[in-house]
Amino acid sequence: MKKFGYGTGVSVYLMKRSPKGLSRSPWAVKKVNKQCDVSHKNLYEQRLNDEAKILKNLQHPNIVGYRALTKTTDGSLCLAMEYGGEKSLCDLIEERSEKRLGPFPADTIFKVALNMARGLKYLHNDKNILHGDIKSSNVVVKGDFESIKICDVGVSLPLDENMTVNSPDAEYIGTESWKPKEALEDGGVITDKADIYAFGLTLWEMMTLAIPHVNLPPEGDDEDSFDEDDFDEDAYYEALGTRPPLNMDELNDSYQRVIELSYMCCSENPKERPSAAKIVEALESENI
């Protein structure tokens, strides 16, 4: 198996499954790292079990599919999933940034937005599930954006009929830079709109090639000269959950609609964010 990704406590491998004379699609296999201490290993294995239970009940072209849950010969738990592509959207963003190619074309961002929104609509409306950790690294892409799939449902939460997380045991984990304001406040009410905020930031990532709210040195600066003391920690924490700014000089008129979509989704007030269903309806009406 070839390693092509990783996450907290886990690594992801590409497993080819085509014996001589047969043609089978490859699998992506998520495996708990052997280096973890016992307490952390138990936590990551529980998350893998939880993810497997959720994936078993999901079937959508924009959600990575379930294949198997088993243990390897060394006793490590592993989850086999549909191979959605060797690179995450985050990988592609980093590559584009390194080559200094500027923002992704507006048409590409719209394509990602529509496919992601369809996946989120399915999770929210059909399965009453909040993904809980939407970001570019949890979107896998095959080829030249031939397929776009949401992955990593290991920290998802159940939604009630009002699209609200009401379970007393439910804890929104997410990833700090993509957390909405309500997830950063004590007693904040978590709804389907938490995913929408992170979705808006994912589109923002494609326009800026940056991590939300993290202000790194300007392009062209010597990376080796970057000092951690230059990072304004107070400004970072103050910015979390807000709508980050865009460099409009890099975005021409073709980006107007995607800017508007990202702007609405990144509102601090969850009631002002559109639902996944509304986003799908709007984008499909434009024949994107």
Question: First CA to last CA across the chain, in angstroms?
Answer: 37
CB 127 within 8 A of CB 57: yes
Mind spelling out the 3-state secondary structure of 145-180? CCEEEECCCCCCEECCCCCECCCCCCCCCCCHHHCC
**Distance in angstroms (rounded) separating the CA atoms of residues 208 and 244:** 10
Strands, E, within the chain: which ranges? Answer: 2-7, 10-15, 27-32, 66-71, 77-82, 87-88, 129-130, 139-142, 147-150, 157-158
Instruction: Please report, as a single letter, which amino acid is at residue 24.
Output: R
Cβ-count burial 164-174 (b if 16+ within 10 Å, e if not): ebeeeeeebeb
Strand partners, 150: 63, 139
**Both structure tokens of 241:** 């959950």
Strand partners, 200: none
Count how many residues are written for the chain.
Answer: 288
CA atoms within 13 A on the CB side of 69: 14
37 catalytically annotated? no
Helix (H, G, I), strand (E, B) or coil at 80: strand
Instruction: Catalytic residue, from 37, 50, 91, 133: name it.
Output: 133
Residues with catalytic function:
133
